[in-house]
């Protein structure tokens, strides 16, 4: 049969191995703070990727414009030399 002493041991063991409501709330707050930092990092990285993509698109357009100018100059130079 379980004695009062055994029950006290069980209660003491529960306090050592399990969180109470206050401790659980603190742990959730800590996890939420870490998750917020993680989201901030992901957002920062996403912005960098978006900026890079836009830069590459603009650079591609610039290269296309320069290629067209070179082709026009080649045609003009080619027709003048004949």
Whether the full predicted model's pTM is greater than 0.75, yes or no, is no
Q: Is residue 80 part of a domain?
A: yes
Residue 63 DSSP code: H
Structurally, how many domains does the chain consist of? 1
Q: Is residue 67 part of a domain?
A: yes
SS3 20: coil
**2-54 pLDDT per residue, tens:** 899 999 999 888 888 888 888 889 999 999 999 999 999 999 999 999 999 99
Six token digits for residue 38: 């993680």
In this prediction, residue 14 carries a pLDDT of: 86
Domain housing 61: 55-82
Q: Is residue 81 part of a domain?
A: yes
Q: Is residue 82 part of a domain?
A: yes
Q: Is residue 72 part of a domain?
A: yes
In this prediction, residue 81 carries a pLDDT of: 63
Q: Is residue 64 part of a domain?
A: yes
Q: Which residues contact 53 (CB under 8 A, 6 or more apart)?
A: none
In this prediction, residue 58 carries a pLDDT of: 98
């Amino acid at each position: 049969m379980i004695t009062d002493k055994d029950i006290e041991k069980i209660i003491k063991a529960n306090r050592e191995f399990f969180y109470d409501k206050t401790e659980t709330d603190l742990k959730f707050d800590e996890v939420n703070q870490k998750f917020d930092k993680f989201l901030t990092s992901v957002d920062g990285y996403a912005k960098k990727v978006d900026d890079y993509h836009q830069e590459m698109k603009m650079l591609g357009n610039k290269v296309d414009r320069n290629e067209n100018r070179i082709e026009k100059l080649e045609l003009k130079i080619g027709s003048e030399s004949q």
